[in-house]
Amino acid sequence: MKKGLILLAIVITLLVYSKSQANEVVIIPENSIRFRVVANSNNVDDFLIKNKVKTAVEKELVTLLENAKDINETKEIIKENIPTINKMIANTIGEQNLDYDVKFGFNFFPKKIFKGIVYNEGDYESLVITLGKGNGDNWWCVLFPPLCLLEENPNSSDVEYQLYVSRIINRFK
């Protein structure tokens, strides 16, 4: 009886694991540009600063990139606006006396699963803002194809989110 229960538990565990793996969908194209903001630490003040920087820079980038037709134009707009981004960060941080670093190029991203979509870990072309020591949690999104605004609707289902992401990616292929 015990052996049967143990065997049953192992089979159920394997079925649940394989089903969860089968549901993962990887759809972000290799030709993409990501945007990441890494907090100095996970304390409340650093979290608030990270969110202020993220909101300010993301809003500016969305405006700058809204008419970009392809990945090359997106890259050029980002490169041209690094000084503007630096000023925006300095203004947002204010008198916090917090160092920061802005890098545009290939940077490492950890794996993330959001609403059933797998964003694999790896080195990706990206704009990365590291605040202070960069020991806190990070936030990131995809600038090209333009997926950054998708997270603003927390009420969308996983299926709605995946369909919307697929439509945007297909538009920029």
Does residue 6 form part of some domain? no
Determine, yes or no, domain membership for 15: no
Domain range for 58:
29-171
Q: Which residues contact 13 (CB under 8 A, 6 or more apart)?
A: none
Q: In this structure, is residue 98 part of a structural domain?
A: yes
Residue at 87 is within a domain: yes
Q: Specify if 117 maps to a domain.
A: yes
Closest among 60, 30, 37 to 124, alpha carbons compared: 30
Q: What's the whole-model pTM score?
A: 0.74
Q: Could you give the number of structural domains in the chain?
A: 1
The H or E element spanning position 139 is strand 138-144
With a CB cutoff of 8 Å and minimum separation 6, the contacts of 124 are 32, 33, 34, 106, 107, 109
Please identify which residue in the block is written with the tokens 């143990």. 6
Domain membership of residue 9 (yes or no) is no
Per the domain annotation, does 10 fall within a domain? no
More confident residue, 120 or 11: 120
Q: Which residue has the higher pLDDT, 166 or 50?
A: 50
Asked if residue 20 is part of any domain, the answer here is no
The pLDDT of 150-164, averaged and rounded, is 54
